[in-house]
Structure 1
């Protein structure tokens, strides 16, 4: 093969890899219009993927906590005296739930009274890499009072929410992210033990999440694990941790602050469609090594082309 052909081959390879890297990324935004498609408030939200991106549907589950705020028993989607597990849209703030009441902040996903979670069912395997929140709260009032389940702040006080000020900096909340490890669709989460989560893997606990409505959002899943089914829950210490073994990667734990009083609304998720093989650790592409960014690929190609040219010039001097 001539040097010229090598150059063109490297340039083509770099351009193709760059296009493949950028075209796989997708964002799903969960507001009233859906941004990526349509949504309905009938217990399950459905979002049609744009530009060939996988579609996704959202449904909700919750599990009761004990007196120590540790999750117990099984996940449920049954109606309660205070509400239901149906996801509820709150406009530009995102998706919440009202299993434990309709008063603020209990119309968000939270871990007070019940631990609440949203199940995302994608049309194909996705590497979830960031989560957007449109609202965060620690369930406290401006006078320092911690809200009880389905309670409101005392008269003359306000709920400390996501608006940052000197006295009230951006509030960070704790979340947990799971993925289904099977290749076929999981059975309904209703009735599944919230403490053992059979068939589900705890990808990570993330305790430094803030309001984020611009992609990239709050980063998760640094190992690049893939699944068509993801569960985003308010954090709970009762969730079974993932052991480090030959077939799994240890659970990511990041900045967990306190075990309770986390309230947030799911604004968006971002990720990439997995188009490669998935290894025994659940990693898309069969490796924990990250794919080089397009800029890195371009620089590498340029360096190789330059090296080829240099060798050609040296060969000419030797003739």
Structure 2
């Protein structure tokens, strides 16, 4: 009887420990003009700030060939964050790799495992004529209406876009002047690792979003960029068909968890992430203590 009670006590404590170390994913949504010190959905989530950067593309190959330059992000109602570094006509006010390659720099208040990316708008930059069944790729800052009547933009729905995801692996704040990454080579990107190229992202504003970073790598700094084959780093994961120049999207949100464990040599967070909010922690602790007290009372009765 005593052995059985001890076994149940250990199981109760083990369950409590597992619950205490578990946490829900945090979500940061960008459907607002303010993108500085954004709060996550849980009380203990790190804050998140966004900034925009872009680099020029080689006019013949489409690959990046310049240094990163600072740019302003713009909020588009119901869609998320976009940029107009290379034009303001639809769809060029999105994040794209047509003319320039545009990206969003994410600064978390603590090391965070990014797990999914929400897109509020996607387009492949192609105009379609429902009458003639013809299609045409937009030139930089060109609109479908400039092609005549009957032309409309292929967007949203299941339109797939290609996205590259980087994380900062260096110490401290990423290099750049006057702000992180600015002035740095877009093809070398010293101190950054290409985590993955994802060629099948779609419009998705329901958490969990387009999944990324399956290995669980962590960092306080992330870069979400329209895909460009000019990046020289080898991605640790890649999926879908990848092409360059036809990717337009607006960044709606991201989801992830705060890393509170050790990080291994590959940058993977070694344990559970993001602590449980304090009220839930106290409740779980109380349940565990009550369970242990009850087992103790039964043990005393059995020995009487």
Q: Normalising by structure 2, what TM-score? A: 0.81
Note if 1:184 corresponds to 2:172: yes
TM-fit CA distance, 1:286: 7.0
Provide Cα deviations, 1:215-236, integer angstroms capped at 9, x if missing partner.
1111100110000000000000
**Contact 1:197–1:240 (8 Å) recurs in 2:** no
Q: Name the structure, 1 or 2, with higher relative contact order (CA <8 Å, separation 6+).
A: 2
Which runs of at least 4 in structure 1 moved beyond 3 Å after TM superposition? none
Unaligned residue ranges in structure 1 (runs of 5+): 33-38, 78-84, 164-169, 243-249, 288-319
Aligned counterpart in structure 1 of residue 83 of structure 2, from 74, 78, 97? 97
In the aligned structure 2, how far is the partner of 1:240 from the partner of 1:256?
18
**Contact 2:112–2:220 (8 Å) recurs in 1:** yes
TM-fit CA distance, 1:19: 4.1
In the aligned structure 2, how far is the partner of 1:59 from the partner of 1:223?
26
Residue pairs, 1:114-193, within 5 angstroms: 114-143=100-129, 144-153=135-144, 154-156=147-149, 157-163=151-157, 170-187=158-175, 188-193=180-185
Residue pairs, 1:18-167, within 5 angstroms: 18-23=19-24, 25-32=25-32, 39-40=33-34, 45-50=36-41, 51-67=43-59, 68-77=61-70, 85-143=71-129, 144-153=135-144, 154-156=147-149, 157-163=151-157
**Contact 2:260–2:271 (8 Å) recurs in 1:** no
Cα 1:286/1:52, change in 2 over 3 Å? closer
Residue 251 of structure 2 is matched in structure 1 by 266
Equivalent residue pairs, number: 257
Instruction: Give SS of 1:7's match.
Output: helix
Provide Cα deviations, 1:227-247, integer angstroms capped at 9, x if missing partner.
0000000000000223xxxxx
Q: Normalising by structure 1, what TM-score? A: 0.77
More strand by share: 2
Instruction: Give SS of 2:125's match.
Output: coil
